[in-house]
C-alpha cells in the first residue's frame, strides 16, 4: 500500500486525496497554511471521516510518506524552498508545478541544484500533470513513436472555460476589458496558461533533438457579441479567455507546435496531428477534465516513483518509446 502525503491541500490536493483513497493508498497527512483546515484531519476536510492524517503547517507530518504530492504554485523559483524541505525530509516528490515539468528551460541553476540534492538524499523529484505533463507532451511523444520519421507535430487542447473553476477563469481574464487583461498578462498579474515551452521541450527531449529556438505566446479572446450560458454572461468586447502556443524551431523550421485554447464557449477537444515522411496520424478526443486528469496523472506517476532512479526527472525520462523527428 503506497503511503502518500500532500503539500498544498487546495482543490487539486483534496481531489487527489479522494482518488488516492479510492486507489487504496494510505494518506499520512497534509501540509497547508489555510487556518480554516490546519489542525483538522485530512478525512474531515474531504468529507470521508477521520483518517488519522493531520493537516498541519509542519512538514514533519509527511515524514512517513513514500511520495508527497506537491501542489502549491506554478513557478519553480517560488516553490523551490518547499521542494527543498521535502527532499531533506527524505521523501519522493511529484509536483504539479508547471515549470518543474521541464525546469532546465527556465531555471537551469535551480534544476541542477535540485537534481544534485535529490540524488544526495536518494529521492526522486518530478513535475507533471495533465498539461504540461501528459496531453500536450508525453502522449504526443508516444503517439509520434508510431510514425517512422516525423516531420512535424501539432497538438491542440481546447476547453470551454465556463466549465472550469473560478480561479481558472480568473487567471485567464474572463470578463475583463481586453487592454486591462493584456496589461495584467504582461505584468504577471494574470498567468493565463503556464507551460507552453515546457511541453515543447518535453517532446523535443523525448525525441532527442535540440531546438535552435523555442517560442511561446498567448493573447486574449474577445467576445464579438454578448455571450450568455447558464448564470454566466460576458458582454460584447470583454474577454472570453485566452489562446496560446509554444513551438520548437529546428533548421529554421517549426517542427513542434502546441496550442492551448481556453475561453467561454470553446469546443472541447484534444487533438494531436503527426505529419510523417511516409504517412500522417491524427488522434482526437472529446476533451479531458483538467482537475480530474491532473489528479489522475500525478497519482499514476506517484505509484511508480518509488521504483525510479533518484534525482530530478521529467516525463520525457518515462516515455517508453522515442519518436524520430526530422525537419522537412
What's the Rg (C-alpha) of the chain?
A: 20
Rounded to the nearest 10°, the torsion over CA 155, 160, 166, 171 is 40
The CATH number of domain 138-287 is 3.30.360: yes
Q: Residues 6, 51: contact at Cβ < 8 Å?
A: no
| For the chain, percent of residues with pLDDT exceeding 70 | 100
Instruction: Please report which residue ranges of the chain form alpha helices under DSSP H.
Output: 11-22, 42-46, 76-89, 108-120, 138-144, 166-171, 178-187, 196-207, 290-304
Q: Provide the mean pLDDT of the chain.
A: 96
pLDDT for the residue 157 = 98
For residues 239 and 111, what is the distance between their CA atoms, to the nearest angstrom?
36
Give the Cβ contact number of residue 287 at 10 Å. 17
- The per-residue pLDDT for range 206-245, each reduced to its tens digit, is 999 999 999 999 999 999 999 988 778 999 999 999 999 9
- Return the CATH architecture of domain 3-129+294-317: 3-Layer(aba) Sandwich (3.40)
Identify the H or E element spanning 27. Answer: strand 26-31
For residues 19 and 295, what is the distance between their CA atoms, to the nearest angstrom?
8
Q: Residues 289, 250: contact at Cβ < 8 Å?
A: no
Question: pTM (2 decimals)?
Answer: 0.95
Identify the H or E element spanning 216. Answer: strand 213-222
- The per-residue pLDDT for range 291-323, each reduced to its tens digit, is 999 999 999 999 999 999 999 999 999 999 999
- The per-residue pLDDT for range 63-120, each reduced to its tens digit, is 999 999 999 999 999 999 999 999 999 999 999 999 999 999 999 999 999 999 999 9
pLDDT for the residue 232 = 86
Q: Where are the domains of the chain?
A: 3-129+294-317, 138-287
Amino acid at each position: 500500500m503506497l503511503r502518500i502525503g500532500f503539500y498544498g491541500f487546495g482543490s487539486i490536493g483534496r481531489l487527489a486525496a479522494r482518488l488516492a483513497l479510492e486507489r487504496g493508498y494510505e494518506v499520512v497527512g497534509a501540509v497547508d497554511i489555510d487556518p480554516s483546515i490546519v489542525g483538522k484531519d485530512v478525512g474531515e476536510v474531504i468529507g470521508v471521516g477521520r483518517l488519522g492524517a493531520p493537516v498541519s503547517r509542519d512538514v514533519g507530518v509527511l515524514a512517513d510518506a513514500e511520495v508527497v504530492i506537491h501542489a502549491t504554485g506554478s513557478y519553480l523559483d517560488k516553490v523551490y524552498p518547499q521542494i527543498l524541505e521535502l527532499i531533506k525530509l527524505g521523501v519522493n516528490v511529484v509536483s504539479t508545478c508547471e515549470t518543474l515539468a521541464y525546469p532546465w528551460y527556465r531555471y537551469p541553476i535551480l534544476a541542477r541544484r535540485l537534481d544534485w540534492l535529490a540524488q544526495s538524499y536518494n529521492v526522486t523529484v518530478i513535475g507533471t500533470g495533465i498539461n504540461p505533463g501528459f496531453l500536450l507532451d508525453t502522449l504526443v511523444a508516444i503517439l509520434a513513436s508510431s510514425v517512422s520519421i516525423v516531420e512535424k507535430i501539432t497538438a491542440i487542447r481546447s476547453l470551454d472555460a465556463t466549465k472550469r473553476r473560478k480561479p481558472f477563469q480568473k487567471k485567464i481574464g474572463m470578463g475583463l476589458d481586453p487592454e486591462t487583461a493584456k496589461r495584467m498578462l504582461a505584468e504577471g498579474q494574470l498567468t493565463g496558461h503556464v507551460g507552453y515551452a515546457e511541453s515543447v521541450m518535453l517532446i523535443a527531449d523525448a525525441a532527442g533533438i535540440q531546438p535552435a529556438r523555442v517560442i511561446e505566446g498567448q493573447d486574449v479572446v474577445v467576445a464579438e457579441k454578448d455571450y450568455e450560458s447558464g448564470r454566466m454572461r460576458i458582454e460584447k468586447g470583454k474577454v472570453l479567455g485566452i489562446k496560446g502556443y509554444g513551438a520548437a524551431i529546428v533548421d529554421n523550421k517549426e517542427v513542434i507546435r502546441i496550442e492551448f485554447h481556453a475561453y467561454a464557449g470553446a469546443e472541447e477537444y484534444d487533438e494531436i496531428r503527426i505529419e510523417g515522411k511516409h504517412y500522417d496520424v491524427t488522434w482526437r478526443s472529446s476533451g479531458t477534465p483538467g482537475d480530474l486528469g491532473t489528479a489522475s496523472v500525478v497519482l499514476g506517476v506517484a505509484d511508480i516513483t518509488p521504483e525510479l532512479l533518484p534525482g530530478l526527472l521529467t516525463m520525457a525520462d518515462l516515455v517508453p518509446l522515442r519518436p524520430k523527428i526530422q525537419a522537412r
